[in-house]
Amino acid sequence: MTRKIVLASNNKKKLGELNDLLKSINVEVVSQGSFGVESVEEPFHTFLENSLVKARHASKSTGLPAIADDSGICVDALGGMPGVFSARYAGEPSDDARNNIKLIASLQGVENRKAHYTCVITAVRSADDPEPLIAVGVWDGVISDEAKGEGGFGYDPYFVLPDGRHAAELTATEKNEVSHRGKAVRTMLNLIKERWYW
């Protein structure tokens, strides 16, 4: 029996990644947009708080269990920025190209290019679930001035892995194996199996 969890996002790439990773436990992830649910404000300064408010909103609006993530890139030399502001680093509306231009400009003349993606995923059985499941994934790399690759999204073209490849050069399967989201989703998968008795 396939069970449904609503994703508190309308990002098709996130939806695809989550479905690829959760199909092994017969969970179908459906977007909140398919229920006519609009995004909720993300007023907090931590990935955890933003993820949780999104999951609770999606669950309350649909009556289904919900899963949400908040993720972003944290650059050491910028004190962890863009962090929770990664998607709108260059302002509204969110635009990957403008965000990347601003990030590279912010790092001109900076030697320390260490960065990491962080993903916090929360899942709730209901809007008032007192025990949300929480999973965290981190993906280390450095920021390059040069963009490479056609895959991924966000800052992936400029994010260089320890093996020298840019995140945008990975296939979807390769990315799921090593990325912050892939790590967090695998942890979440185990938490759902252990805690939700599915």
Catalogue the active-site residues: 70
Which pair of structure tokens corresponds to residue 5? 């969890």
- Coil, helix or strand at residue 57: helix
Closest by Cα among 74, 66, 1, 69 to 32 = 66
25, 29, 135 from 4: Cα distances, Å: 11, 6, 19
Altogether, the residues listed in the chain come to a count of 198
Left if phi > 0, otherwise alpha if psi is -120 to 50, otherwise beta: which for 36? left
Q: Which amino acid is at 144?
A: S
Can you point out the beta strands (E) in 8-146?
27-31, 66-75, 114-124, 133-143
| Residue 30 contacts residue 67 (beta carbons within 8 Å) | no
| Residue 151 contacts residue 169 (beta carbons within 8 Å) | yes
Residue 68 pairs in a beta bridge with 122
